[in-house]
Chain A
């Protein structure tokens, strides 16, 4: 029908409905992976659950702003991190850039100095609880990039897009954040006196 607007065209409407359903299914299929990252971006399970619901509600409302063919998981995480900031759960600030004495070998050297004869077996030296606690002790700015890159398997570029920071900042925060994490792990595993 020549005078019918696209919005009222039944074929267009059906096509749009199909696209929406597909989008929602794709987004829900990623929920486990999004939750895994969300759970480590905030402190508690309850916060993560709230944030997930807000994220999915917003994603389903604004599904048309997602560009098919781009990274849906990164798109969902970007909504989630923005909501996290909006709700004041996180204070944006300049990250601490004081010189850090600990290098990348710090944790290994500490374990070795503690007289551990089986230093190479990471899983026997570190506990899951200590690792979770150590990550929680890493300041937010650094923790976010560790969570996205080392736990969420996002590329530097995706992490930069999600956090809306330059890629160089992702790299420098990752570099520093990993060293802070090792320091925290060393303190929990062998104590600060070693």
Chain B
């Protein structure tokens, strides 16, 4: 792990990772996270992994709705 001073900057970056990806950090926090990511290969690797993991989780759950269910839902419509 990269060397730290008082608060390990990598620990701080780890804490900010999800809010950063969710785009809910303040401008100041985001700039801090980006500055750290720019200079830290350890965290940058993990950041790239997190981005891909989110995409993977999103696509892992793509499941088509059965066509017969679609028909059943249409049949629930109010008759004209």
* B63 x A36 contact (CB < 8 A): yes
A54-86 interface code vs B (CB 8 A; 1 in, 0 out): 001100100000000000000000000000000
Q: Which of A3-11, A89-97, A124-132 lies at the interface?
A: A124-132
Number of interface residues of B (CB under 8 A): 34
In the complex, how many angstroms separate the beta carbon of A177 from the nearest chain B beta carbon? 11
B19-44 interface code vs A (CB 8 A; 1 in, 0 out): 00010100000000000000000000
A-B contact count (CB 8 A): 95
Q: Check: B80 CB closer than 8 A to any chain A CB.
A: yes
Contacts of A123 in B (CB 8 A): 52, 56
Contacts of A57 in B (CB 8 A): 76
A-B contact pairs, 10 of them (CB 8 A): A24-B77, A28-B73, A35-B63, A39-B61, A53-B73, A104-B18, A104-B46, A121-B52, A128-B60, A156-B22
B contact residues vs A (CB 8 Å cutoff): 14-15, 17-18, 22, 24, 45-46, 48-50, 52-58, 60-66, 69-70, 72-74, 76-78, 80
* A60 x B17 contact (CB < 8 A): no
Pick the residue among A20, A45, A104, A120 that contacts B14 (CB under 8 A): A104
